[in-house]
Amino acid sequence: MVEDLTSRQVRPLDRVYPVVLFDAGEVKICDGAVANRPVCVAVGITLGERDVLGMWAGAGGEGGKGWVNQLPGPGSRAVEGILIVARDWLPDGITALRPRAEVQLCVVHPARASLRYVSKKYWSATTKQLKLIYTASNVKVAEAELAGFSHTNITGKVVVVWKRATNRSAMHNGDRLDVQR
């Protein structure tokens, strides 16, 4: 089994992956003692196939900047091209590894962050209006929906969260707004 695992870890990868999804989850790892640690998984997506490119265990939470140092660089295992990097938590340093790739952010984190600033009785109405923002056909429509956001007297913080999210998730190809759900 160890030989199979080792051969899988060093196998040659495709030269180009149109989409690479980076995600992390908490996993129980036994390293002297059992502890929950984040594990980053990189999945390369091609036509009809998904390929796990690698997994890296971290020491802290999902959002640490130390992750970028653990991820493979452009020449690693012969992967030459990535067109879109889909991520939810990975720091912006990923663009240093893949400067020409479009970066697409997950909508879940800003949605959860928004609900921290809203009373629970407004969650349903707030999420309905937020959906109009992240499903907008382009950046201008999303900005118009964001400008019309009004449910509570503390929407200022929610607006800040979404302005940051839409600025970071906008793919400026034809003024399209793409976020991953």
Per-residue pLDDT of the chain (181 residues; tens, 9 = 90+): 778 877 877 777 888 888 888 887 888 888 888 888 888 888 888 888 898 888 877 776 555 455 555 565 545 565 777 777 777 656 566 666 677 777 777 777 788 888 888 889 888 888 888 888 888 887 788 878 888 776 555 677 888 887 777 665 544 344 444 444 4
Claim to verify: residue 122 and residue 96 sit in the same structural domain: no
Claim to verify: residue 34 and residue 63 sit in the same structural domain: yes
Claim to verify: residue 46 and residue 81 sit in the same structural domain: yes
End residue of a domain, out of 76, 105, 134: 105
Q: Which domain holds residue 18?
A: 2-105
Claim to verify: residue 112 and residue 139 sit in the same structural domain: yes
Number of folded domains in the chain? 2
Take residue 172 and report the two structure tokens written for it. 């400026």
Q: Are 179 and 105 in contact (CB under 8 A)?
A: yes
Claim to verify: residue 120 and residue 152 sit in the same structural domain: yes
Claim to verify: residue 112 and residue 101 sit in the same structural domain: no
Per-residue pLDDT at 76? 58
Q: How far is CA 108 from CA 54, 74, 148, 166, in A?
A: 23, 28, 21, 13
How does 121-160 read in b/e, with b if 16+ C-beta sit within 10 Å?
A: ebeeebeebbeebbebeebeebbebbeebebbeebeebbe
Q: Give me the numbers of helices (H) and strands (E) for the chain, helices first please.
A: 7, 7
Per-residue pLDDT at 72? 57
Per-residue pLDDT at 179? 47
Claim to verify: residue 100 and residue 112 sit in the same structural domain: no
Claim to verify: residue 77 and residue 6 sit in the same structural domain: yes
Q: What's the whole-model pTM score?
A: 0.64
> C-alpha angle with apex 163: 71 to 176, nearest 5 degrees?
75
Claim to verify: residue 115 and residue 74 sit in the same structural domain: no
Q: Tell me which amino acid residue 134 is.
A: Y
Per-residue pLDDT at 152? 55
End residue of a domain, out of 60, 78, 105: 105
Q: Are 72 and 54 in contact (CB under 8 A)?
A: yes
Claim to verify: residue 123 and residue 46 sit in the same structural domain: no
Claim to verify: residue 17 and residue 80 sit in the same structural domain: yes
Claim to verify: residue 21 and residue 57 sit in the same structural domain: yes
DSSP assignment of 17-47: EEEEEEEEEEEEEESSSEEEEEEEEEEEEET
Take residue 19 and report the two structure tokens written for it. 């989409």
End residue of a domain, out of 105, 133, 152: 105
Per-residue pLDDT at 176? 47
